[in-house]
Every structure is written in structure tokens, then in C-alpha cells.
Structure 1
Amino acid sequence: MKKIVLALALLAALPLRLWAWGMDGHRAIGIIAAHHLSEKACRQVAALLGTQTLALVSTQPDEMRYLPEYKETAPWHYVNTAMGLDHDQYLAALKGQANPNAYNVLVAKIKEMKDPAKTREQRAEALIFVVHIVGDVHQPMHTGRAEDKGGNDIKLTYRGKDTNLHSLWDSGLLDYQGLTYTELGQQYSVLPEAQRKQWQATADPGEWLWESYQESGKLYAEAAQKPDPDYRYYPAHADLMKQRIQQAGVRLAAVLNEAFK
């Protein structure tokens, strides 16, 4: 944990950058997950994180990746594939990638997080990346095209300001609500038990990415049709945004409950 604390202490010198789901989205996911943890998982998480919470550590990998000792983690936040693939083609392309990406790093970090042979510091760092990457893979544009950097090069004008498709989904739609991450997390934590169980039954991270990939294709098509989304964009996409954040939260809880059972 000393390495993480030292790295974060240096962040004040870095410029602000956009994060997946924004700070509020990632931290809301952490709050949702905490609401659905088992008692044993709660104890294990506390033993690894100390005074930190799932919400607070959820943004750290985005902060850390701009530091020299973590520069190799930049590709851990997304997966790029060709568009137009069907389910089996997508999973084959996803799992066939040899270079580090959100999928294979998430799978590796889950194993590392629960490996008793690892030190507490190693397991804590693995946990922090698991918390963050589960959030990332539920953001549709983190499964976008390599040629436009997951929508970062798709320029848009939203609410009179220049932005891009990726940033709109990282933080633009969340900012529109004007809620704090605590408010988001509390509101989004409330969902029917049957819905929670249904989402948690899909335990393969590859399937979570497939869900995002399908949505990203629709978002690309919409952006091509209307590069200047108007006041109707938020209400048309608010349910999807909420659903992906809720799914990330309850699935993160399921991962931790299973890892620490």
C-alpha cells in the first residue's frame, strides 16, 4: 500500500484528465457494491484497504496511470475490436488478444486479489484495479474502435460545448444530473432483488464487455446521424447509463463475495 500512497501523493502536479464514468460514476459503483457485499467480504475488503473504501479507491487507477511506475497500465482500461461482430466472433476476438487489455487484466487481477501467496500490498493493489476495471468495462465506449480511440475522436457539441462521444459517456451525462457520487450511489443501490440476481448470474466479464460493445455500436451510429445531440439526448439514454452503473456495482459485489467467501 505504501507504493500506492506515494504515487497518489504526486498527483497534485498532474493536469486534470477525463476518467471513465467520471469520478462520480466510479465512486457510485463502489457505493453500490458496498451495499451488496456479504459480511465476510466486507471484513476482507476492510483488511486490505484499511481506512479507504471501495468508493474512494475506485478512481485511483485512472490517477495512477499517468505516473511513470504505472505507465504500462494505460491499456488496462479498455478493449478495442472491429465493429459489426456477432456474439461468438466478439468473444473470440476479445479472448484472442495477447496484449494487456481490460478483459485479460481483470481476469488476472481477480486471481491475484484472492491469492494467499501474494502479499497484502499486492492483493490490495489487485483489489483496487478490480474495482476500477469492472466499472470501465460497463461503460460502452470502452469497447469502441481503436481508430477513433473509443470515440475520443468523434467530435460532438453538447449543451453548447465542444466534447466527444467518449467524454459524453464518461462524465457528460452524469454531470447533467447534478448529483454527488454519494447521492448517485444511494439512489442507484435500490433495485429489485430479482433484477440484481439476474445481473449477477452473468458472471463472465467477457459477457459484460459484449453488452457494452453492442451499445457502443448504437452510440456510434447515433453520433454519425446527429453530431450535435440536443436536450433529448439525456432522457433518451438516462436509463441505459443508470443500468450500466447499477450492473457494474452489483457485479463487482458478486466478484468480491465469491473471491472472499
Structure 2
Amino acid sequence: MPFTLATWNINSVRLREGLVSRLLAEELPDVLCLQECKSPVEKIPLDRFRALGYNWIVARGQKGYNGVAILSRLPLTDAGDRDFAALGHARHVAGVLENGVTIHNCYVPAGGDVPDREVNVKFGQKLDYLTEMRDWARAERPAKSILVGDLNIAPREDDVWSHKQLLKIVSHTPIEVAHLAEAQEAGTWVDITRKDIPEGKLYSWWSYRAADWNAADKGRRLDHVWATADIAAAGHSSRVLRPVRGWEQPSDHVPVFATFDL
């Protein structure tokens, strides 16, 4: 049974519930994974999403920060969460579909502004989070699984507007890229977006700081859809919804989609 999945850092689900509802109504993904919900679970506008047919919801939240949720039109069972790096943050939740596919929704720490763990605690937390993601994958050997989310790293040269200028900027530094690659390899995760769109510049985030984000086009691909190698061939039709960045009061991220024939 084919299903379409999307991931989106919404940057406050309560502030942007109208945008979420618009995406659900216009694009009809079977599953939508949200990050940076910035809300306790009980205050997420779940009734509005249920009214659109998304009756199965698993989420982890906290006041004002982080937060992850999976909204589904297909039956979905809560499969728990993991507190990578013991940060006490709501950054991961998992759900299992009736076809046995496990969906992991992750929000990797941004890492602050200085790419040096000796002077920036947040950067160290980011690296530790990725290390524990790697160790978990090595130990658990996930199968028939999809991992999505704002991983806060643009790994490839064509995932950023300027590889040379961003080499020392958090989200594209060599140490972050290496940590992400180790986590990916440990889980035999396949980058579905780049499997489908192997060449060319591709971004899912544009800073609020740009006066005209579209004209400047200084983007980064921070949002990812991965699948374990055993089901990666079933993934296709990847797309990044760039126009969503131009919606009224948008998130600085846009949704990333993929379809799976499973």
C-alpha cells in the first residue's frame, strides 16, 4: 500500500496551525512529521488536525521549545521515544504503521553559533546527540524503518548555497557532516531525497534574516528523509515544497515529501 510522508520543522505548531492545516488539505500526505512544535502535547491543536482526517497522532512536547509530532491518516501506534545525549528534550518520537513500518521523527539540536565544543556547550550537545544516534543504530539494527526530521546538518556541497563560505558555519562543518555520516552508515540509512534528486542545489531552509529570502536564495538542506536499506528501493517521488516558504508568516523550513510503496 503506497503512502506519502512529509517532514516539516514548523517553528511553533500553535502559531502556525493554519499553515499545517493548509498543507494537510492541499497536499494530503498520509503522514506528516512535525518538529519544533514548541508546545506541550495537550496544547497542540489536535482536534483541528483530526477534523481533516488525521486521527492518529503521537507526540512529545514541552513548553516553548523543541517538540515532535506525527500526524497520520493511517492507523499508527506509539512506539516510544529516545532521549539521545540525555538532554531531557522532546526531540524524538516513533510510531508504527499497520504495515510494520516504523517512523522515527527526530529533531537534532541546532548546535549554537560557534563550532567548538570547548567554548559552546550546545555544539557539544549536538555532536553527542549524533553519536548516540549512531550507537543506537549499531545496537538496534533498525529494519523496515524511516527516519525523518530536521537533522540540522546540510551534508553535501550542493546542500548549501556556498560550500566554501559555510565550511566554518554550524550545520555544514566537516565534523558535523562526519558525525551525521556515521549515524547514517550505522543504520544503513539511505537518503531518499538525494536518491531521487541526485544532482543540483537543493534547500529546505532559508534564514529569516534575509530581506528577500527568494532572491538571495542562501539556503541549506537541513531536513531529511531516510529509510533503511531493506525498504529504500520502495521510496520515490521526493520533492521539496519551496513555495511554502513564501506563505504568510512562514516557518523558515519547508516540507520535504517522499512516497513509499510498502
TM-score norm. by structure 2 comes to 0.27
Q: Which structure has more RCO (C-alpha within 8 Å, separation ≥ 6)?
A: 1
Q: Could you tell me the TM-score, scaled by structure 1's length?
A: 0.27
Structure number with higher strand proportion = 2
